[in-house]
Every structure is written in structure tokens, then in C-alpha cells.
Amino acid sequence: MSAGSSPSRAIPPVLLQSPLENLEQIYGRFHSSAGNNIFPYGLACIARVLEMNGFDVHYVEPATEGWDADRYLKYIGKQGYKVIGITATTLQIDSALQTVRLIKKHFPDVFVVLGGVHATLMPSEVMSDCLELDFVVTHEGEKSFLKLVECIHEGELSRVASIPGVVHRGPGGEIIQNGFDVKRDFLAENELPIPLYEIFPMRKYIAQITFAKEFPSYSVIAGRGCPFRCSFCNGAVTLGKRVRMKPVDVLIEEISILKNDYGARGIMFLDSSFTTRRDWLERFCEAYAESDINLPWSCCSRVDTFDRETGLMMRRAGCWSIGFGIESANQKSLDLICKGTTVEENAEALETAYDLGYYITSSYIICLPGENEEDVMNTIRFSKRFPTHIALFYLPVPFPKSKLDETCRRDGGLREAGKSDDYNCWNVDRPIYVNPLIGEARMKDLYRSAYRQFYLYPPVLWRNLKEFAMLRQSPYKLWAGIKSFLNIR
């Protein structure tokens, strides 16, 4: 089907969805206070491309709707779907495969397709673990999933073997993975779509408190790809090393839709580093400042792509909050995780952002391989020496196929995951990596101590109380922050 055309005959709608799960499974003890900013941006972009090519697209999120399996199956049975596409992270993969099995048990003629970062990194393993799964789509799904859906609806499954990035089963049940050329098969910048927001329950996506000033605030991803090599992240493998940013005029149009059609009072850019492409950032800031949108926005940055000039430019364009992945105050740890930054750059970026009046979030990974207790305390002291409004502390979570996974295996502290929940970075009750130099019990103590020391530190208390006293933050944010702190204790 050509873009914008209508189907030549009546065909069943296509369903896109998240797995059958619950929010506590995703957020652990923070599920009631941290908010839910996981708008399925990738699925929403795929939905737009399907819609542009004449398909009727539906979306359902069982967790957000509060559905159990019976309610979910009744919904599926009424719609008559022929293709269901599910996305899943490593944390969600067990739930995703259980959802696949449930669908195929009750609706064996439905074709079920799995995508997302975990399926991209481990497609053969996923297909082997779930014999009911029909296809996996790796990397970006817009082009590949569209072609796959067309093949299914046209009854030409023999063409599946020619679709880049699709994993399927051969005549003898063997798993076949089609090649994917990152130079040819990724979307070009001018092809990056505006999500099909109208089929999603937008008001049910409650923003994460660290990046929202007013509610509702909606999340946007402005680009794809990452040139950096952080060992704990597989972003470059999934979406490529080349940074592709959405054309500025298209992004401005998208934000206008969120404001005018969905009542947005703020925007959160969830790109891992919004400041990577300086040329694009300058064009965006100029266009945004000249537009009539006038919504506060937040973003994440790397300390080596942020300086005073960049910070001033973003502030003039309405950026109020910025997040930095500081990770560690130990240079040996920054080098171990291939962060490509220095402790001095971390300190300079935090000081600059504070001087420019930003609301700042910093994140840290403590108990990394090779660290001892004194190294952890050094990072905690650093967080207090450069006190941001929000600090997030994590224990190492070495995701499958990441370089950190390899490091933790060599270190001897990685235990085999029993289930996907073991990769929940919000739940430290049973860490998947135990630093041999510190031990599990002490790691948990240090984790809780880091939060207590930071948030009870007078400059941090004063900085945050001043924000609320000056009415610059929503009361909901104060209450959510208190609940989160109590959950950590």
C-alpha cells in the first residue's frame, strides 16, 4: 500500500500493545509515587506509519487499564485481530512471552510479533524460548513491521524472508534472522514520524516527577541513535551510532499538537542526550523561542556536551530542568563503564547548570565492579558536594549482551537471572550483581544510606523547599517525592 492510501478491501485492524503486566512489576516499590512516563513512543511511531499506509490501528495497555487476563481476552475476542505487535524491554520480557502464549492458546490464528530492545539483542533466544511466537522485528519497526503486516494480510508469507530485521521460522522450524543494514534500513531524519497520539490514553500517562514541572507533561523523543559507548547501555546497538534528529519544524508541530489537542503544560525530552547535535540544538532553540508554544521543557544531557553557552541558549528557549548521568566520582569507574567523561567535567557541568538556574537531576551507579566501600562513599560525598535538586542512585544492572554484563561476569559477582524481574533497577531486594569487594548486605545498606545522606543534607533540603515556597513546583511533586523517600527507607 502506498502512503496515505486506503485498503482495497476490508481488513482487520492491527493491534499494538504492551505486555499483560502490572505497574509494580515495572517500578517496584516506587510504583505508587514516581509517576509513569513510559509513553510507548516507538509503538506510537509505528502506529503512525501503519495508519499512513491505510491500516486501522488500535492500541491497548493492559497495565494502565487495570485489566486482568479475562478482561484482556474478552477485548481481543471482540476485535478480530489478525496481527498483534508487542514491545518489551528486558524487564518486561517474561510478561511479554506469557502474553504471547495466552494469545496463541485462545486465538491460534492470530500472528503475534515481538519487538523492542530485548528482542533486538536476543532474537534467537526469544524465539527458542517461546515456540508460540511467530515473528520478531529487530531495531526500528516502522519499515519492517509495515512490510510484515502487508505480507500477512496479502497472504504472501514467502516474502517475509526478504524483509530486513525480521526473525522467522523456516520450513523445518529453524530460526532464520534476516540481515539489517544500519546504513540502509534505518529511517532517514525526514522520515521520523509524529506519533499517532490519538489512539493512546494520553491523560493516563503521569509524568515522572524528576522531569515534570506542571501536569500534564508529556514525553517526546526528538531523535534516534547514540555515538557513545557506555557499557551499561545497548542504545547504539539497537538504534545505531549515527544521531538522527527529527526535523525542527516537524518537532515543533508535534509539540503544538500535544499542547493544543491534549492540554500539555510541559514537555519532557527523553532522549538519552538531547545536546549531542549542537547544530540541530541551535535551530531547535531558535524555532521554539520564536513559536507561540511557550511550554517549559526538560531534557537529559551529557556533561561533555553541555557548557555555559549551551545552557544559556536552552534557558532562553524555555528549558527549566536538565538531567546528567554523572555515574561516579571515581575516574577508574568512569573508565570501566566507558563513559568517556571525567570527574572534573562532572563537577564543572553541575556548577554551570546550577549557576544558570536549572532544576537539576543527577544519577549515580554505586558498587560498580572494582569499587570498594570507600569508592562508594566518595561518590556519595561528591553528590553532597555538588547537591542537585534530585539525585538518583542505582546499583549496577548489567543487561544481557551489554559490555557491563561481560565485566560483571569476569568480576565473578553476576548471578544468573531467574526471571526478567531481576533486571529491575528500582528493586534492590535481590541485586543481580553482587560486588565481591562489598557484599550484598552492605551494598543494600550503602544504597539506602546514599539516599538518606543526600536528601537529609541541609543544602538539598533548603534547595527543594525553596522551590515549593516560591511556588515553582507542583504540590503533587512534593508529595510524590516524600513518598518515594519513605519507600527507600
pLDDT at residue number 466: 78
pLDDT at residue number 8: 40
What are the cell numbers at 398? Answer: 548489567
pLDDT, tens digit, 9 for 90 and up, residues 235-264: 998 999 999 999 999 999 999 999 999 999
Handedness of CA 141, 147, 150, 156 (dihedral sign): negative
Give the Cα separation of 294 and 58 in Å (integer). Answer: 32
pLDDT, tens digit, 9 for 90 and up, residues 137-161: 999 999 999 999 999 999 999 999 9
CB 66 within 8 A of CB 297: no
Strand-pair partners of 85: 16, 113
Domains, the chain, ordered by start: 14-177 (3.40.50.280), 207-488 (3.80.30.20)
Percentage of residues in the chain with pLDDT exceeding 70? Answer: 90
Which of 2-16, 61-75, 156-170, 384-398 is predicted least confidently? 2-16
Give the Cα separation of 196 and 205 in Å (integer). Answer: 15
Mean pLDDT of 445-474: 84
By DSSP bridging, strand 135-137 and strand 57-60 are unpaired
CB within 8 Å of 64: residues ≥ 6 apart: 36, 201, 204, 205
In this structure, the number of other CB atoms found within 10 A of the CB of residue 71 comes to: 12
pLDDT, tens digit, 9 for 90 and up, residues 187-237: 999 999 999 999 999 998 888 777 788 889 999 999 999 999 999 999 998
pLDDT, tens digit, 9 for 90 and up, residues 367-393: 999 999 999 999 999 999 999 999 999
pLDDT, tens digit, 9 for 90 and up, residues 75-98: 999 999 999 999 999 999 999 999
> Which residue would you say has higher pLDDT here, 415 or 426?
415
Give the Cα separation of 226 and 347 in Å (integer). Answer: 23
Give the Cα separation of 282 and 304 in Å (integer). Answer: 17
pLDDT at residue number 245: 98
Break the chain down into helix, strand, coil percent, rounded to 5: 45, 15, 40
Strand-pair partners of 245: 223
pLDDT at residue number 209: 74
pLDDT at residue number 486: 55
pTM of the model: 0.93
pLDDT at residue number 1: 40
Q: Which of 112, 399, 118, 63 is nearest to 232 (CA)?
A: 399
CB 300 within 8 A of CB 271: yes
pLDDT, tens digit, 9 for 90 and up, residues 256-295: 999 999 999 999 999 999 999 999 999 999 999 999 999 9
CB 351 within 8 A of CB 386: yes
Residue 23 has pLDDT above 70, yes or no: no
What are the cell numbers at 47? Answer: 502506529
In 79-236, at which residue ranges do the beta strands (DSSP E only) sit?
Answer: 83-87, 111-115, 135-137, 166-169, 175-177, 217-220, 223-224
pLDDT, tens digit, 9 for 90 and up, residues 282-337: 999 999 999 999 999 999 999 999 999 999 999 999 999 999 999 999 999 999 99
Give the Cα separation of 430 and 74 in Å (integer). Answer: 36
Per-chain mean pLDDT for the chain? 91
Cα 331 to Cα 80, 339, 413, distances in angstroms: 56, 10, 21
Give the Cα separation of 466 and 460 in Å (integer). Answer: 10
Q: What is the CA radius of gyration of the chain?
A: 23
pLDDT at residue number 419: 83
**pLDDT interval class at 426 (50, 70, 90):** confident
Give the Cα separation of 483 and 392 in Å (integer). Answer: 15
**pLDDT interval class at 6 (50, 70, 90):** very low
- Cα 423 to the chain's mean position, in Å? 14
pLDDT at residue number 298: 96
